[in-house]
Structure 1
């Protein structure tokens, strides 16, 4: 469906739209015919898809960091948030300016999409293959011979203490690198820095848990 918030966004200067009518194969929003493709179950042109994507990306960014939804003022905590809000506002304004004065009947739009959908299905449908008697017989003989074979026993070995120590040393090096990166972003502010710190802290916690598991395995092997 067309972005509902696009309709709700206020425009600074109301635009007098040129009277245009939708025709099958054209964009349902603006009536354009440039690179029309299906977008959210509707035919949309390249321009509309671009601006809708900008708005969707801004909405996803705000949701990811728990920020105020887009719309309203451009007040932001950092430059990245501001750029998303500004881009979404500009895209909404463009969409409102190019919108058809009279939206097409949804039933007519669905009818126009049916031939295109049928063509896509026909192109993607694989050709039916006739089973070969010879290949079936060969497959049956292979299955029989495979089932006749005895499964090889699974070998189980003892815990290698040297291998545990090697892995532990590698993890300690990784832990040192993570701590160094954490020190670099410790004093940085902004959403990107906070997200980076959170990711590094998760990596550090994973490494520490793995080291604890290796130490437990080493002690268990040493006691045997």
Structure 2
């Protein structure tokens, strides 16, 4: 029998939080599926991206003026610095409150992202196929030509290796995931060694992104 005392018992927030699970297409941090877009090579919802942007803005401000990094005390030299520190602290607290009790396996996230990588190179396949068909049709001698007219030589075209391009894109996405995982593991760099490691990872990430941009140009060129 359920009595009034049972119904009016305290709500177990932790139990409710544990119910939430990540699913493909949802935010990897909080599990929300509202306004999900790629952020730092991960699907994140609009709320999470907004909070992360507040923290990034505070970091940029402190770094621009050579101020003490975020974390710990809110001690500041002026009101503007304190405002950035307070906003970043509040954003981090809200992110921690939204965080899933169990974050998704990075391998599962990468697997869910693979269709996006495949879509990058899906269009050139159909384009290359239609181009090959057109080229084959153009090499066939017309019935109106006389027997003395030699057939037109086939035109050679340099086609992009679609399979190799797809493999390269997928591998780069995996590499980006590994780099981001290491950066998240380090978190706020507290020492010179950690800062040096973060700087090195950021350089690696920039190199991978430039390579992805070059592959995108190759895809566009193949589609023309």
TM-score, normalization: structure 2? 0.47
Computing the radius of gyration over CA atoms, which structure comes out larger, 1 or 2? 1
TM-score, normalization: structure 1? 0.47
